[in-house]
Amino acid sequence: MAAIKPRDAASLMLYRSKQGSFEVLMGRRPSKSRFMPDVYVFPGGAVDAADARAKPATPLCESCAKHMAVAGSLARAQTIAMAVVRETFEETGLLIASRGTPGVVKDATWQTLAMRGVSADLSVLQYFGRAITPADQPIRFNARFFICDSQRVDSLNTDELTQSDELLDLRWIPIHNPDELALRDITKFLLHEMDIWLNRREQWLGYPAFTKKAGKRVVSRSG
């Protein structure tokens, strides 16, 4: 049986510094979720068709496309980044935006931003890496991960989180996960990469692409 083609998705690793250490925003997937139930994840989700039609207030950096496995298409890279802004707003209430308009788009979230006179501020996002669900899984994603410092986003009030049905128990988690929350291997890997990127940048090996084959971790890098 042929493997299912992975669907493009995006997640946000939003971090902040607190008392000399770093925390990242995460929430727990509901028990009823078909994909990764009952584990803590970063805000995010699948790319929708409306994300390609919506216009950002500020563009994504041009260099991102060469690392994102989008055949060098800045338009596709930007669509994926638009998805992470939309999904983060839907799941947490946090809005990464600046003055502008997404245009006329038949999507409730983009219409909400249009009414507020704002659209996605992609300039504050940095591409970090991606993960591909193994080929033997029935639900597959090619998920791109973006990293962002909460201090760079003027419109965020990071103490006012809005819990949704898609992401429960929203909280700021130390990147070393001292509470030993339920995490998948990919999330543990990304937290480790994040620790290196934030604290020992000279040791970071470049943009990772993570998957598993025959149950074993496979990581390649770009840049």
State pLDDT tens for residues 76-99: 999 999 999 999 999 998 999 999
Cα–Cα distance measured from residue 114 to residue 108, given in angstroms and rounded to the nearest whole number? 10
Predicted confidence band of residue 1 (pLDDT cuts 50, 70, 90): low
pLDDT of residue 157: 61
| Residue 22 reports pLDDT greater than 80 | yes
Compute the residue count for the chain.
223
Token look-up 């803590």 returns 40
Per residue in 181-213, pLDDT (tens digit) is 899 999 999 999 999 999 999 999 999 999 999
Report yes or no on 124 lying in a domain. Answer: yes
> Is residue 67 domain-resident?
yes
Instruction: For residue 157, tell me if it sits in a domain.
Output: yes
Q: Are strands 207-213 and 126-132 parallel, antiparallel or unpaired?
A: parallel
> 145: closest CA among 129, 164, 163?
129
CATH number at residue 174: 3.90.79.10
For residue 20, pLDDT over 90 is answered with no
H or E stretch including 207? strand 207-213
Instruction: Output the DSSP codes for 104-117.
Output: S-S-HHHHHHHHHT
Q: pLDDT per residue over 36-74, tens digit each?
A: 889 999 999 999 999 999 999 999 999 999 999 999 999
Evaluate whether residue 69 is within a structural domain.
Answer: yes
199: CB partners within 8 A, 6+ apart: 22
Look at residue 75 and tell me if it is in a domain. yes
Task: Establish if 135 belongs to a structural domain.
Answer: yes
Q: What is the pLDDT of residue 128?
A: 98
Domain around 113: 7-222
pLDDT above 90 (res 165): no
Residue 1: inside a domain = no
pLDDT average, residue stretch 31-35: 84
Q: What is the DSSP string of 114-181?
A: HHHTEEEBGGG-EEEEEEE--TT-SS-EEEEEEEEEGGG-TT--TT-----SSSEEEEEEETT-TT--
Q: What does the alpha-carbon distance between residue 134 and residue 26 come to, in Å, rounded to a whole number?
A: 23
Counting the structural domains of the chain, the total is 1
Burial group, residue 202, by CB count within 10 angstroms (0-12, 13-18, 19+): exposed
pLDDT at 118: 94
State the pLDDT at residue 19: 84
Q: Is residue 2 part of a domain?
A: no
